[in-house]
Structure 1
Amino acid sequence: MGYARWDSDDWSDYAAGQAGRSREEVFTRRSLDPEFDPLNIRRRESRDSAQNPESNAIIVAFDETGSMGSIPDAFVREGLGTMVQALLDRRPVSDPHVMVMGFGDAWCDRAPLQVTQFEADLRIADQLSRLWLEGGGGGNRFESYNLPWYFAARRTSIDCFEKRGRKGYLFTVGDEPPPPKLLAAHVRAFLGDDLRRDLDNAELLRAAGRMYEIFHVVVEQGSHYRSFPDEVEQGWTRLLGQRVLFLADYRQLAEVIVSAIEVNEGRDPDAVVASWDAAAGTVAKALRRLPAASRRRGLLGYFGRSTR
């Protein structure tokens, strides 16, 4: 729900406790946590509170198949603290509430979607470490990136949009192309909703885009991207155009996410890049196709015009 507040000292203690531990020691789940099972979740809410009076919802959804397990592992050790602290210090949006999703392949995985709660304090890290890194995926050359879009559109309520007309943010992260569509059978099996038909990606993006600014981060170090870069780039560009961010170093995902939010909120891309030290090169590459605020009119029209 996001009723607490981030404390940098708490994060430092937490991160120190993860140092030297293996991925298996950090992510100890060997099955889906019922708390994160979409079948058990009616709604996730981001609500204003005394400590976060103008909350802004941010969703980060990780592909946790195969080699992509390195992404949430790096994020729980360092990236999460970098992201939240940078959001608080730079203030592209106020009072960030962060939800983490893990997703896989609905065609073959046992838990193709896992969903934490919106939180604003160290509970973000605790929930992230309780995700099950199933490490599955199949040979179909895509993962179920559209499950987070569906959940965001149908199962979230966020005060930033409902009270202030400000969209939240939704980032999917992975190295494979998007799936062709979302099957009604998969929605029924993994979320419990009885759809009459399959849903194509464009309508899912329109539905989620009513409340969220949607981006996808392509992990260039992923094995699929290294083998089929043109396939991945073309598939995502057809769907999201300039909102595809190419991540050269997965350890700098946090800086790329914060930078994309800053530019989308109207800050100059060159100034944003220059504000980073070691991550400047990675951020510059990721933002190279993202339009500055003055050039975003057509892009907003595709996803549904913001009411800000």
Structure 2
Amino acid sequence: MGNGRWSSTDWQNYAARNVSGKSRTELFTRRSLDDAVNPARIAMRESRDSADNPQSTPIILAADVTGSMGMVAHKLMQDGLNTLATEIYARKPVTDPHVMAMAVGDACCDQAPLQVTQFEADIRLADQVRNLWLEGGGGGNGGETYMSAHLFAATKTAADAFEKRGRKGYLFTIGDEPVLDGLTREQAARVMGFETPRDLSSHEILTMAQRNWEVFHIILSNEGYARARPDAVLRSWKALLPERTIQLGDVDRLAETVVSAIQINEGAHPQDVTASWSGSTALVVAEAIRGMAPVPARRGLRRLFG
């Protein structure tokens, strides 16, 4: 998947018909898991080059949708997807973005602990995001099964970026809770639809995912669990991603933070990235990316703007 290109005009027309003025429950009407986004029913999700996108870059946004975290999907639908696509086109940290959205829950108790869209490059992504079920569950067990997103990325994605060009995609998990430690054999079978020889730890799953993906986690530091117990959340994620755990204070700036992290990982200097945003966005981004070090670009330093 991944034909077409994102257009602000297409988004404006789509939003006027389907998004503007709608509450979360009006926007996300599904009340059960659709087989089309059920990872156990999916053999593979593909990001392939095309005439529209000859140098495709797969990007996964895996958002917690338990409890109040359904707001993340709502924010993405309100304008986050449009901001993400248009800013990547404008700044060019990577080429030809193909975006997948995931909805993450709790494999211990949720009916839909993971949902997965296709990789899309145009407005079709919006319809797929709206088809996700915001179950709103979670088990009160001190975390969510974020690692299901990493396991899917490691085992059920294929992309020309890493198969043809040796370029990794980007995977961002997003939420307010600690990460539960991996998946049991039973959970993997139920959620992913395949057998594993034993339980898989978070470290094992993360190592698998990092073969083809640049992996980050964004803690929504002013929301829910993270607001009440920030040290517990940070400790959980820093143990896995010590230099790639981002603390975001304003969920309204999620898309800008994702774009900024990609820019820095592709070689831009954090101070230059911060200065490229205006007003309060610059302040939020500066705090979020604090501690991220510039990474030497693998193919020559990319420009901040195209």
Pairwise mapping of residues 89-128 of structure 1 onto structure 2 (< 5 A)? Answer: 89-128=90-129
Residue 207 of structure 1: how far off its partner (Å): 0.6
Q: Secondary structure at the match of 1:267?
A: coil
Deviations 1:234-291 (A, max 9, x none): 1111110010011100011000000000000000110100111131111111100111
* Aligned match of 2:301: none
In the TM superposition, structure 1's runs of 4+ consecutive aligned residues that sit over 6 Å from their partners are: none
Cα distance, 1:89 vs structure 2 = 0.7
Equivalent residue, structure 2, for 1:130: 131
What is the aligned-residue RMSD (CA, Å)? 1.2
Aligned to 2:160: 159
In structure 1, C-alpha distance between the alignment counterparts of 2:62 and 2:261, rounded to whole Å: 15
Q: How does 1:57-96 map onto structure 2 within 5 Å?
A: 57-96=58-97
The worse-fitting range, judged by mean Cα deviation, of 139-148 and 276-285 is 276-285
User: Which residue of 1 is the match for residue 284 of structure 2?
Assistant: 282
1:21-60 paired onto structure 2 within 5 Å? 21-60=22-61
Instruction: State the TM-score, normalizing by the size of structure 1.
Output: 0.94
Say if 2:148 and 2:182, in contact at 8 Å, map to a contact too.
Answer: no
Q: What CA deviation, in whole Å up to 9, does each residue of 1:37-68 have, x standing for no partner? A: 11210000000000100000000000000010
Distance in structure 2 (CA, Å) of the matches to 1:40 and 1:203: 23
User: How far is 1:295 from its partner?
Assistant: 11
Structure 2 CA distance for partners of 1:295 and 1:258, relative to 1, 3 Å:
closer
CA distance in 1, matches of 2:282, 2:94: 21
Q: For residue 6 of structure 1, what is the amino acid of its counterpart?
A: W
CA apart distance, 1:221: 2.4
Do 2:185 and 2:198's aligned partners in 1 also have CA atoms closer than 8 Å?
A: yes
Q: Equivalent residue of 2:89, what SS?
A: helix
Contact 2:266 2:296 in 1 (8 A): no
CA distance in 2, matches of 1:259, 1:16: 28
Quote the residue 2:6 is aligned against.
6
> In 2, distance between residues paired with 1:239 and 1:50?
38
Q: How many residues align?
A: 296
Distance 2:25 2:256 in 1: 26
* 1-structure distance, mates of 2:251, 2:16: 20
Contact 2:248 2:284 in 1 (8 A): yes
Determine the C-alpha separation between the residues in 1 that align with 2:184 and 2:286.
Answer: 37
Counterpart amino acid of residue 292 in structure 1: P
Equivalent residue for 1:306?
Answer: none
| C-alpha distance in 1 between matches for 2:276 and 2:45 | 34
- Whichever residue aligns with residue 147 of structure 1, its letter is S
Aligned mates of 1:19, 1:222 — CA distance in 2: 24
The amino acid across from 2:15 in the alignment is A
More divergent stretch after superposition (184-193 vs 12-21) = 12-21
Q: Supply the distance in 2 between the matched residues of 1:258 and 1:176 (Cα, whole angstroms).
A: 22
* Partner-residue secondary structure (3-state), 1:141: coil
Q: Secondary structure at the match of 1:207?
A: helix
Taking the aligned partners of 2:255 and 2:81, their CA distance within structure 1 comes to: 7
- For 2:224 and 2:7, the matched residues in 1 are separated by 36
Task: Give, in angstroms, the shift of residue 294 of structure 1.
Answer: 4.5
Q: How does 1:137-216 map to 2 (within 5 A)?
A: 137-216=138-217
CA contact (8 A) 2:267 2:297 kept: no
- How do 1:265-276 and structure 2 match up within 5 A? 265-276=266-277
* Structure 1: tracts of 5 or more residues without a match: 297-308
Q: CA deviation at 1:13?
A: 1.4
Flag the 1:25–1:39 CA change in 2: closer, same or farther, 3 A. Answer: same
Secondary structure of the corresponding residue to residue 138 of structure 2: coil
Q: Percent identity?
A: 51
| Alpha-carbon displacement from aligned partner over 1:155-180 (angstroms, at most 9, x marks no partner) | 00011110001100000000001112
Does the CA contact (< 8 Å) of 2:110 and 2:138 recur in 1?
yes
Is residue 291 from structure 1 mapped to residue 298 from structure 2 by the alignment? no
Partner Cα distance (2:153, 2:192) in 1: 12
1:303 equivalent in structure 2: none
**Kindly tell me: are residues 7 and 295 of structure 1, through their superposed partners in 2, closer, same or farther at Cα, counting changes over 3 Å?**
closer
Instruction: Give me the whole-angstrom Cα distance separating, in 2, the residues matched to 1:16 and 1:5.
Output: 19
In structure 1, what is the Cα distance between the partners aligned to 2:222 and 2:135? 20
Contact 2:182–2:205, Cα closer than 8 Å, also in 1: no
Residue identity matched to 1:80 = L
Corresponding position: 1:221 with 2:222: yes
